[in-house]
Amino acid sequence: MKNIVIIATGGTIAGSGKIGKATNYQAGKIDIKEIIDSIPMINEIANLTAIQLFNIDSNEMNEQYWLCLTKKINDLANQDNIDGFVVTHGTDTLDETAYFLNLTVCTYKPVVLTGAMRPASATSADGPMNLYQAVCLASSDEALGHGVMALFSSTIYSGRDIQKVSNFRIDAFDQNHFGCLGYMYDDKVQMFSRTFKKHTILSMFSESLPAELPSVGIVYYYAGANVQLLTMMAKIHQGIVIIGSGSGNYSKLWLEEIQRLSNEGIIFVRASRVNQGIVYESSIFDPLNICIPSNTLSGQKARVLLMLALSKTTNINEIKKIFDEY
Protein backbone atom coordinates (compact mmCIF):
# COMPACT_ATOMS: atom_id res chain seq x y z
CA MET A 1 0.00 0.00 0.00
CA LYS A 2 1.13 3.57 -0.68
CA ASN A 3 1.86 6.04 2.13
CA ILE A 4 -0.32 9.13 1.84
CA VAL A 5 -0.18 12.21 4.05
CA ILE A 6 -3.45 14.09 4.59
CA ILE A 7 -2.78 17.73 5.46
CA ALA A 8 -5.90 19.33 6.90
CA THR A 9 -6.44 23.09 6.72
CA GLY A 10 -10.13 23.38 7.69
CA GLY A 11 -13.13 24.41 5.57
CA THR A 12 -16.66 23.05 5.37
CA ILE A 13 -15.37 19.49 5.17
CA ALA A 14 -14.42 20.08 8.82
CA GLY A 15 -17.53 22.19 9.46
CA SER A 16 -19.99 21.69 12.26
CA GLY A 17 -23.52 22.99 12.79
CA LYS A 18 -27.01 21.86 13.75
CA ILE A 19 -27.17 18.09 13.21
CA GLY A 20 -28.69 17.33 9.80
CA LYS A 21 -28.64 20.93 8.52
CA ALA A 22 -26.52 22.00 5.53
CA THR A 23 -26.45 25.76 6.20
CA ASN A 24 -25.44 28.11 9.04
CA TYR A 25 -22.49 26.12 10.31
CA GLN A 26 -18.95 26.97 11.31
CA ALA A 27 -16.16 25.87 8.95
CA GLY A 28 -12.90 24.48 10.36
CA LYS A 29 -14.17 22.91 13.60
CA ILE A 30 -13.69 19.14 13.38
CA ASP A 31 -10.32 17.39 13.65
CA ILE A 32 -9.16 15.52 10.54
CA LYS A 33 -8.75 12.27 12.53
CA GLU A 34 -12.48 12.34 13.36
CA ILE A 35 -13.33 12.79 9.67
CA ILE A 36 -11.03 9.93 8.62
CA ASP A 37 -12.57 7.68 11.29
CA SER A 38 -16.01 8.32 9.76
CA ILE A 39 -15.02 6.94 6.33
CA PRO A 40 -15.45 3.18 5.86
CA MET A 41 -12.62 1.39 4.00
CA ILE A 42 -10.35 4.42 3.64
CA ASN A 43 -7.56 2.66 5.57
CA GLU A 44 -7.64 -0.16 3.02
CA ILE A 45 -6.64 2.25 0.23
CA ALA A 46 -3.38 3.57 1.73
CA ASN A 47 -1.38 3.94 4.93
CA LEU A 48 -2.56 7.32 6.12
CA THR A 49 -0.82 9.94 8.21
CA ALA A 50 -2.96 12.92 9.19
CA ILE A 51 -1.56 16.36 9.97
CA GLN A 52 -3.84 19.12 11.24
CA LEU A 53 -1.77 22.03 9.88
CA PHE A 54 -4.50 24.66 10.40
CA ASN A 55 -8.24 24.52 11.03
CA ILE A 56 -9.62 27.65 9.43
CA ASP A 57 -12.41 28.89 7.21
CA SER A 58 -10.63 29.31 3.86
CA ASN A 59 -11.61 32.99 3.84
CA GLU A 60 -8.86 33.35 6.46
CA MET A 61 -6.30 31.83 4.06
CA ASN A 62 -3.47 34.20 3.12
CA GLU A 63 0.04 34.33 1.65
CA GLN A 64 1.73 33.24 4.91
CA TYR A 65 -0.52 30.18 5.20
CA TRP A 66 0.25 29.36 1.53
CA LEU A 67 4.00 29.59 2.09
CA CYS A 68 3.70 27.41 5.21
CA LEU A 69 1.63 24.80 3.33
CA THR A 70 4.06 24.61 0.41
CA LYS A 71 7.00 24.31 2.81
CA LYS A 72 5.30 21.47 4.67
CA ILE A 73 4.60 19.55 1.44
CA ASN A 74 8.10 20.18 0.05
CA ASP A 75 9.76 19.03 3.30
CA LEU A 76 7.68 15.83 3.45
CA ALA A 77 8.00 15.14 -0.29
CA ASN A 78 11.75 14.67 0.23
CA GLN A 79 11.03 11.54 2.29
CA ASP A 80 11.22 8.38 0.16
CA ASN A 81 8.54 6.66 2.24
CA ILE A 82 5.85 9.24 1.36
CA ASP A 83 4.04 8.67 -1.94
CA GLY A 84 1.46 11.43 -2.17
CA PHE A 85 -0.57 14.14 -0.45
CA VAL A 86 -4.18 15.10 0.09
CA VAL A 87 -4.93 18.63 1.30
CA THR A 88 -8.36 19.30 2.80
CA HIS A 89 -9.44 22.91 2.29
CA GLY A 90 -12.45 25.21 2.32
CA THR A 91 -14.07 25.61 -1.08
CA ASP A 92 -14.23 29.42 -1.08
CA THR A 93 -10.56 30.07 -1.87
CA LEU A 94 -9.53 26.55 -2.90
CA ASP A 95 -8.95 27.69 -6.50
CA GLU A 96 -6.29 30.17 -5.33
CA THR A 97 -4.50 27.71 -3.03
CA ALA A 98 -4.57 25.00 -5.72
CA TYR A 99 -2.87 27.32 -8.21
CA PHE A 100 -0.33 28.57 -5.65
CA LEU A 101 0.63 24.99 -4.78
CA ASN A 102 0.70 24.03 -8.47
CA LEU A 103 3.37 26.71 -9.00
CA THR A 104 5.43 26.25 -5.83
CA VAL A 105 5.37 22.59 -4.81
CA CYS A 106 8.59 20.87 -5.85
CA THR A 107 7.63 17.23 -6.33
CA TYR A 108 6.29 14.88 -8.99
CA LYS A 109 4.32 13.06 -6.24
CA PRO A 110 0.55 13.59 -6.46
CA VAL A 111 -0.95 16.47 -4.47
CA VAL A 112 -4.77 16.46 -4.42
CA LEU A 113 -6.96 19.13 -2.82
CA THR A 114 -10.48 18.37 -1.72
CA GLY A 115 -13.22 19.75 0.50
CA ALA A 116 -16.97 19.78 0.83
CA MET A 117 -20.01 21.95 0.29
CA ARG A 118 -21.92 20.42 3.20
CA PRO A 119 -20.52 20.38 6.74
CA ALA A 120 -19.58 17.10 8.39
CA SER A 121 -22.70 17.38 10.60
CA ALA A 122 -25.15 17.63 7.64
CA THR A 123 -27.40 14.88 6.33
CA SER A 124 -25.62 13.31 3.35
CA ALA A 125 -22.39 15.27 3.84
CA ASP A 126 -20.26 15.21 0.67
CA GLY A 127 -16.88 15.49 2.42
CA PRO A 128 -16.30 11.80 3.27
CA MET A 129 -16.72 10.59 -0.34
CA ASN A 130 -14.57 13.46 -1.65
CA LEU A 131 -11.82 12.64 0.87
CA TYR A 132 -12.04 8.90 0.13
CA GLN A 133 -11.66 9.50 -3.62
CA ALA A 134 -8.90 12.10 -3.10
CA VAL A 135 -6.91 9.44 -1.20
CA CYS A 136 -7.58 6.94 -4.03
CA LEU A 137 -6.36 9.50 -6.58
CA ALA A 138 -3.24 10.44 -4.59
CA SER A 139 -2.41 6.70 -4.30
CA SER A 140 -2.76 6.09 -8.02
CA ASP A 141 0.16 5.93 -10.50
CA GLU A 142 -2.13 7.63 -13.03
CA ALA A 143 -2.02 10.79 -10.91
CA LEU A 144 1.73 11.25 -11.46
CA GLY A 145 2.90 14.24 -13.49
CA HIS A 146 -0.38 16.18 -13.61
CA GLY A 147 0.71 18.84 -11.13
CA VAL A 148 -1.52 19.76 -8.24
CA MET A 149 -5.09 18.55 -8.74
CA ALA A 150 -8.44 18.90 -6.99
CA LEU A 151 -11.13 16.28 -6.52
CA PHE A 152 -14.84 17.09 -6.17
CA SER A 153 -17.97 15.09 -6.98
CA SER A 154 -15.95 12.25 -8.57
CA THR A 155 -14.32 14.71 -10.99
CA ILE A 156 -10.59 15.50 -11.21
CA TYR A 157 -9.59 19.12 -11.92
CA SER A 158 -6.25 20.79 -12.57
CA GLY A 159 -4.96 23.19 -9.94
CA ARG A 160 -4.40 25.81 -12.66
CA ASP A 161 -7.88 25.79 -14.12
CA ILE A 162 -10.28 24.83 -11.34
CA GLN A 163 -12.91 27.46 -10.51
CA LYS A 164 -15.76 27.49 -8.04
CA VAL A 165 -18.87 27.95 -10.19
CA SER A 166 -21.67 27.35 -7.69
CA ASN A 167 -22.01 28.61 -4.13
CA PHE A 168 -24.87 26.19 -3.54
CA ARG A 169 -24.60 22.86 -5.38
CA ILE A 170 -22.33 20.07 -4.12
CA ASP A 171 -21.05 19.82 -7.71
CA ALA A 172 -19.55 23.25 -7.20
CA PHE A 173 -16.43 23.23 -9.41
CA ASP A 174 -15.56 23.37 -13.09
CA GLN A 175 -12.70 24.16 -15.48
CA ASN A 176 -14.87 26.04 -17.98
CA HIS A 177 -13.81 25.28 -21.56
CA PHE A 178 -11.10 22.91 -20.42
CA GLY A 179 -13.50 20.24 -19.16
CA CYS A 180 -11.69 18.25 -16.49
CA LEU A 181 -8.63 16.04 -16.15
CA GLY A 182 -10.58 12.90 -15.38
CA TYR A 183 -13.26 11.05 -13.45
CA MET A 184 -13.34 8.67 -10.50
CA TYR A 185 -15.44 5.53 -10.55
CA ASP A 186 -15.52 4.65 -6.83
CA ASP A 187 -11.81 4.04 -6.14
CA LYS A 188 -10.77 3.82 -9.85
CA VAL A 189 -9.08 6.69 -11.67
CA GLN A 190 -9.74 7.53 -15.34
CA MET A 191 -7.59 10.38 -16.69
CA PHE A 192 -8.61 12.02 -19.99
CA SER A 193 -6.46 15.11 -20.43
CA ARG A 194 -3.28 16.82 -19.29
CA THR A 195 -2.31 20.47 -18.80
CA PHE A 196 0.35 21.97 -21.09
CA LYS A 197 1.17 24.79 -18.69
CA LYS A 198 4.28 24.56 -16.48
CA HIS A 199 3.83 23.33 -12.91
CA THR A 200 5.53 21.76 -9.86
CA ILE A 201 9.05 20.47 -10.67
CA LEU A 202 9.16 22.42 -13.98
CA SER A 203 7.99 25.64 -12.35
CA MET A 204 10.63 28.33 -11.73
CA PHE A 205 8.77 29.16 -8.51
CA SER A 206 9.30 25.74 -6.97
CA GLU A 207 13.10 26.16 -6.91
CA SER A 208 13.05 28.43 -3.86
CA LEU A 209 10.32 30.12 -1.83
CA PRO A 210 10.42 33.82 -0.93
CA ALA A 211 10.04 34.65 2.78
CA GLU A 212 7.07 36.83 1.86
CA LEU A 213 5.18 37.79 -1.29
CA PRO A 214 4.99 41.23 -2.92
CA SER A 215 1.70 42.98 -2.38
CA VAL A 216 -0.73 42.67 -5.31
CA GLY A 217 -4.35 43.85 -5.26
CA ILE A 218 -7.37 43.35 -7.51
CA VAL A 219 -9.66 46.10 -8.87
CA TYR A 220 -12.98 45.26 -10.52
CA TYR A 221 -14.11 47.39 -13.47
CA TYR A 222 -17.80 48.22 -14.01
CA ALA A 223 -19.65 50.84 -16.05
CA GLY A 224 -18.82 54.20 -14.53
CA ALA A 225 -16.15 52.81 -12.14
CA ASN A 226 -14.31 55.69 -10.44
CA VAL A 227 -10.73 56.02 -11.61
CA GLN A 228 -9.62 56.77 -8.06
CA LEU A 229 -10.09 53.08 -7.28
CA LEU A 230 -6.81 52.58 -9.18
CA THR A 231 -5.11 55.58 -7.58
CA MET A 232 -5.96 54.34 -4.08
CA MET A 233 -4.98 50.72 -4.76
CA ALA A 234 -1.62 51.87 -6.11
CA LYS A 235 -0.81 53.48 -2.74
CA ILE A 236 -0.61 50.10 -1.02
CA HIS A 237 0.28 47.65 -3.80
CA GLN A 238 3.22 46.96 -6.05
CA GLY A 239 1.05 45.21 -8.62
CA ILE A 240 -2.62 45.52 -9.59
CA VAL A 241 -4.79 42.99 -11.41
CA ILE A 242 -7.68 44.69 -13.20
CA ILE A 243 -10.74 42.53 -13.66
CA GLY A 244 -11.89 44.32 -16.78
CA SER A 245 -15.04 43.96 -18.85
CA GLY A 246 -15.08 41.85 -22.05
CA SER A 247 -11.52 40.85 -22.91
CA GLY A 248 -9.90 42.85 -20.09
CA ASN A 249 -11.28 46.28 -21.00
CA TYR A 250 -12.01 49.59 -19.23
CA SER A 251 -12.71 53.28 -19.91
CA LYS A 252 -10.35 55.88 -21.39
CA LEU A 253 -10.06 57.51 -17.94
CA TRP A 254 -8.82 54.21 -16.52
CA LEU A 255 -6.39 53.82 -19.40
CA GLU A 256 -4.87 57.26 -18.66
CA GLU A 257 -4.50 56.44 -14.97
CA ILE A 258 -2.97 53.03 -15.72
CA GLN A 259 -0.38 54.76 -17.96
CA ARG A 260 0.40 57.34 -15.26
CA LEU A 261 0.75 54.77 -12.46
CA SER A 262 2.75 52.42 -14.61
CA ASN A 263 5.29 55.26 -15.09
CA GLU A 264 5.58 55.26 -11.29
CA GLY A 265 6.47 51.55 -11.32
CA ILE A 266 3.12 49.84 -10.67
CA ILE A 267 2.80 46.60 -12.66
CA PHE A 268 -0.65 45.93 -14.17
CA VAL A 269 -2.33 42.73 -15.34
CA ARG A 270 -5.54 42.76 -17.41
CA ALA A 271 -7.93 39.92 -16.52
CA SER A 272 -11.63 39.66 -17.35
CA ARG A 273 -14.87 39.52 -15.43
CA VAL A 274 -16.13 37.13 -18.16
CA ASN A 275 -15.25 33.65 -16.99
CA GLN A 276 -14.88 32.02 -20.41
CA GLY A 277 -12.33 32.95 -23.08
CA ILE A 278 -8.88 34.50 -23.05
CA VAL A 279 -7.35 37.95 -22.53
CA TYR A 280 -4.79 38.84 -25.23
CA GLU A 281 -2.70 41.96 -25.82
CA SER A 282 -4.83 44.91 -27.02
CA SER A 283 -3.69 47.89 -29.09
CA ILE A 284 -6.89 49.70 -28.05
CA PHE A 285 -6.96 49.11 -24.30
CA ASP A 286 -3.19 48.93 -23.89
CA PRO A 287 -1.59 50.90 -26.75
CA LEU A 288 1.73 51.33 -24.90
CA ASN A 289 1.99 47.60 -24.16
CA ILE A 290 2.39 48.08 -20.42
CA CYS A 291 -0.36 45.76 -19.13
CA ILE A 292 0.21 42.04 -18.95
CA PRO A 293 -2.70 39.98 -20.36
CA SER A 294 -3.90 37.32 -17.91
CA ASN A 295 -4.32 34.66 -20.61
CA THR A 296 -7.07 32.32 -19.31
CA LEU A 297 -6.44 32.98 -15.61
CA SER A 298 -9.21 34.39 -13.45
CA GLY A 299 -8.42 37.64 -11.62
CA GLN A 300 -7.61 35.89 -8.34
CA LYS A 301 -5.33 33.36 -10.06
CA ALA A 302 -3.64 36.14 -12.06
CA ARG A 303 -2.93 37.78 -8.69
CA VAL A 304 -1.26 34.58 -7.41
CA LEU A 305 0.96 34.42 -10.49
CA LEU A 306 1.78 38.15 -10.41
CA MET A 307 2.87 37.92 -6.75
CA LEU A 308 5.19 35.02 -7.56
CA ALA A 309 6.46 36.69 -10.75
CA LEU A 310 7.20 39.95 -8.88
CA SER A 311 9.20 37.97 -6.34
CA LYS A 312 11.60 37.17 -9.24
CA THR A 313 11.48 40.18 -11.59
CA THR A 314 9.82 43.53 -12.31
CA ASN A 315 10.60 43.38 -16.04
CA ILE A 316 7.25 43.54 -17.90
CA ASN A 317 8.42 41.46 -20.86
CA GLU A 318 9.68 38.72 -18.56
CA ILE A 319 6.40 38.74 -16.63
CA LYS A 320 4.45 38.55 -19.93
CA LYS A 321 6.43 35.43 -20.83
CA ILE A 322 5.62 33.97 -17.40
CA PHE A 323 1.90 34.58 -18.01
CA ASP A 324 2.15 32.73 -21.34
CA GLU A 325 3.97 29.75 -19.85
CA TYR A 326 2.12 29.23 -16.57
Q: What are phi and psi of 257, to 5 degrees?
A: -70, -35
The nearest distance, CB 11 to ligand SIN, in angstroms, is: 4
Bridging pattern class, strands 2-10 and 155-158: unpaired
Q: Is the dihedral of CA 303, 308, 311, 315 positive or negative?
A: negative
User: To the nearest whole angstrom, how small is the minimum distance from the Cβ of residue 35 to ligand SIN?
Assistant: 13
Query: Max CA-CA distance within the chain?
Result: 61
What are the residue numbers of the active site?
A: 12
Q: Give 64 or 231: the residue with its C-beta nearer to ligand SIN.
A: 64
Q: Which residue is nearest to ligand SIN (CB)?
A: 90
**In the complex with ligand SIN, which residue's Cβ is closer, 126 or 161?**
126
8-state DSSP, 245: B
Query: How would you class 158 by CB atoms within 10 Å of its CB: exposed for 0-12, middle for 13-18, buried for 19 or more?
Result: buried
DSSP 27: S
What span, in angstroms and rounded, lies between the C-alpha atoms of 16 and 27?
7
Q: How far apart are CA 164 and CA 8, in angstroms?
A: 20
Nearest alpha carbon to residue 145 among 97, 95, 199: 199
CB of 61 to ligand SIN, least distance (A): 8
User: Cα dist. 1→45, 134, 185 in Å?
Assistant: 7, 15, 19
Our CB check for ligand SIN shows the closer of 22 and 310 to be: 22
Question: For ligand SIN, which is the closer residue by CB, 163 or 259?
Answer: 163
- The smaller minimum CB distance to ligand SIN, of residues 10 and 84, is found at 10
Phi-psi label, residue 179: left if phi above 0, alpha if psi -120 to 50, beta otherwise: left
Cβ 175 to ligand SIN, closest distance in Å?
Answer: 18
Q: Round to whole Å and give the CA distance between 230 and 224.
A: 13
Q: How far is the CB of 324 from ligand SIN (least distance, A)?
A: 31
Q: Which residues bind ligand SIN (CB under 6 A)?
A: 10-12, 27, 57-59, 90-92, 115, 117
